[in-house]
Structure formats: structure tokens, C-alpha cells
Amino acid sequence: MSTNPANHTSTAATTDDDPPAGTRERGRLYRRLHANPALALTTKIVVTVVGVLVMGTGIVMMVTPGPGIVGIVLGLAILASEYAWADRWLVKAREKAHEARVKAEQMDPKVRRRRLLLAGLVLLLVVGAVAAYVTAYDWPVLAVDGWNWLQGVAGWMPELPGM
């Protein structure tokens, strides 16, 4: 079987690896990572997990202090390396990011300072609450209790060394 793209006809059925019309051409790294079926599956799983985690973090940052739109765009960019739908969404997300940037640049400096101060105070309160909890309930006990709970939920989790 030839891997030369010039040998493929336009009437051939497209596969999941072929870029759909209107999307970017996939690069050499993509073809290399998808040459072996096992490596292709592993790549797809890793990209999916990392992309969803980054995008989920961006969604959380939409309601908490942080660059939420940047996280969503970055997560979509990671997912777009494997999925055509994410590539289409990425174009729309970049437009929204540009709109948010323009809106932020037009914001009154007093309002911006007040929001940054409020975000800093919330972050300080969260860090303080976690520090107080760890101090009051002892970090090793918290970690061991959390691990024991995790073992109860997922029985395949190994025992902690020395326990």
C-alpha cells in the first residue's frame, strides 16, 4: 500500500484519520503517531484525557479567578489535534477569546483593579482555608484517609507502602 497522497483519488472514502474539508492538514507527527494501531489508540486516549482536563480547568476558571477562555481555547487546541469537531469549535473559541480581549482592554482601570484585588483575596482565602484544614487535621492522616477512601471506591488501588 502506498502512502503517497498523490496516489489517493478524491472518490476514495475518507477515514477518521483524513482531515475533513475545511480543516487543517495533519502533520508528519500525526501520521507517525497513527502508523501503528496500538500507538494510535494510546495517542487518542492521552490527547482526549489531557484536552478534556485542560478544557475543564478553563471552564472552572470561568467562574473562579483565572484565564478561563485561554484554558478552553488551549484544551480545544489539544483536542483539535485528534478530532475535527474540536478544530471547528476552536475557530469559534478563538473568536470569543478575541472579543473578550477587546472587552477587557476597554474596561475601566478602576474596575479592573477592583476585580484583580477581589480575585487575589479569594485566592488568599482558599489557600488559608486549605492550610488551616491541613494544620487542624494533620496532613498525613488526611492523605491516608483519602487513599483508604479511594481504595474503597476503586478496589484495584494498591496498598500504601508500610500500611
Report the C-alpha gap between 96 and 111 in whole angstroms. 21
Contacts of 55 (CB under 8 A, 6+ apart): 71, 72, 74, 75, 76, 78, 79
Q: Domains in the chain: how many in total? A: 2
Residue 120, C-alpha cell as written in the block = 487575589
8 domain residue, yes or no: no
pLDDT (mean) for 19-41: 72
pLDDT at 8: 44
Q: Is 5 among the domain residues?
A: no
Predicted TM-score (pTM) of the model is 0.49
> Tens digits of per-residue pLDDT, 85-108?
888 888 888 888 788 889 888 888
Q: 61, 87, 106 — which closes off a domain?
A: 106
SS (H, E, C) 85-134: HHHHHHHHHHHHHHHHHHHHHCCCHHHHHHHHHHHHHHHHHHHHHHHHHH
Structural domain span for residue 137: 108-163
Tell me whether residue 14 is in a domain.
Answer: no
Of the residues 106, 121, 144, the one at which a domain ends: 106
Looking at residue 34, its pLDDT comes to 81
The pLDDT value recorded for residue 12 is 44
Nearest to 32 by CA among 86, 81, 77: 81
Q: What pLDDT does residue 54 have? A: 93
Angle at 20 between CA 29 and CA 55, to 5 degrees: 65
Do both 116 and 99 map to the same domain?
Answer: no
Quick check: is 151 in a domain? yes
Of 40-44, 88-92, 132-136, 139-143, minimum mean pLDDT range? 139-143
**How many Å apart are CA 51 and CA 148, to the nearest integer?**
29
Q: Which three cell numbers stand for residue 69?
A: 477562555
Q: What is the DSSP letter of 29?
A: H
Which tops the pLDDT comparison, 96 or 1? 96
When pLDDT is averaged across residues 52-61 and rounded to a whole number, the result is 90
